[in-house]
Structure 1
């Protein structure tokens, strides 16, 4: 069995799903943000400014910045209600319609009678968005908080802005526990770029689609036809009754993780292939794969149901 991301027709397109402009708290115009990502070789981005009243609830119109080699998906980072620590929810909504009715969120603090974070996530998904739980470690999110976003397609496994700004980039703790509870989730790496610090070009998704088209990319994201990376490439993942075979760009480690303590790694030099027995994961309902290169950069597969 091969993961659909590697067997589906088309090619991989590189994109960033979490970015800000000066329509909210970023420092560059939407046009300049798009120009910089295009100049860095990205195929697409979603400009996800904060859907907050103090910024007039922006959903950036990036359509004028598309061309034959670069496209955009409309989106926003949505906010409403309080998490258990009393702070405002941050919910990433990629593919949000331009006419989406914003929440009652005048600023970055919860107020009375707001819709909850789970309600807002469900409304964004119903409107057609690909919904992700943003930077759970940075947010100080509890596992109960994470469980409550039942509408989420994905969770940020890596947030580059949070890595650079506060060394809290990780979502694997939340993802692995939710997967073991039976949740159907994928894993996205993002920038969360504001261009006010070195928070850009550090984490992205590689989405498999027949064309670099916003609708096709969004559909592929919802199907899970992608992997995430800081640099390494995953070229194939094949499962048999005996083993997991991974091919990739040059790596020093290929790691398979599963339920609880189930994990096994292959270490080496300039590896482009690894075969890992599946016996260690016979009691695990899911597995996922991490690739590590010589510089310590990682790539992450989406979870595979066993």
Structure 2
């Protein structure tokens, strides 16, 4: 696949940029499009091919990967006369890495089939660190044959890559992931605040607890940033709010009670209302340290 596939990539944000760089390093030719070309300038200088529209990108590539912000962004780039589905070449593979709605993933799959395209929903986890290191967890929904065909590409950007089921299953798995993170982030914040209040060195506390039963990705990777006062976004607060909102809606549709998710969403909305929308999710600790107005 690597020798004969041109990859199109739409979305060059914090994670998208690193994913594209890893694909380039692996020898793939990457065509890119994003709403603000200047944000892709470094990628272009490093050999990515700029396309002036979604339609031209779709027509020029064999595999199209997308990573945008919200479900409505996904709808904008996939549907309509100038969208991916109506412009991609028959036989192409389309892979949405965005965390979005399971129902939307199913709709994309249905419409893709009508145009002889192969669609996969493949949201990821691992943040900016995982994107840079090519170690993302990738949760895939779609047909087995399509999954196997694009697996060599996914292996460039991720390590833990699992086909979870049919279309929409990748999104459901990512929402389960976000539900687990939601309550955990509250615990991480409370842990650091408690350690400081008790007169402990929070970094030494992390050395003790990250390898035990309390260990988690957030505790190992985001807690040190909290302690240092580094709130740069590996994953935006606004995007986590979007994910948790979708997860809560999905849970409610299935008749489930998710009180931990509801509390986390409430706290993150409060954080966003105080001007932290574009901060990293680790900025939640500001609510616990009274650093906000």
**Do the structures match in fold with TM over 0.5?**
no
Provide TM-score, normalisation by structure 2: 0.32
Instruction: Return the TM-score normalized by structure 1.
Output: 0.31
Which one scores higher on RCO, CA 8 angstroms, separation ≥ 6? 1
The structure with the largest helix share of the pair is 2
The structure whose Rg is larger is 2
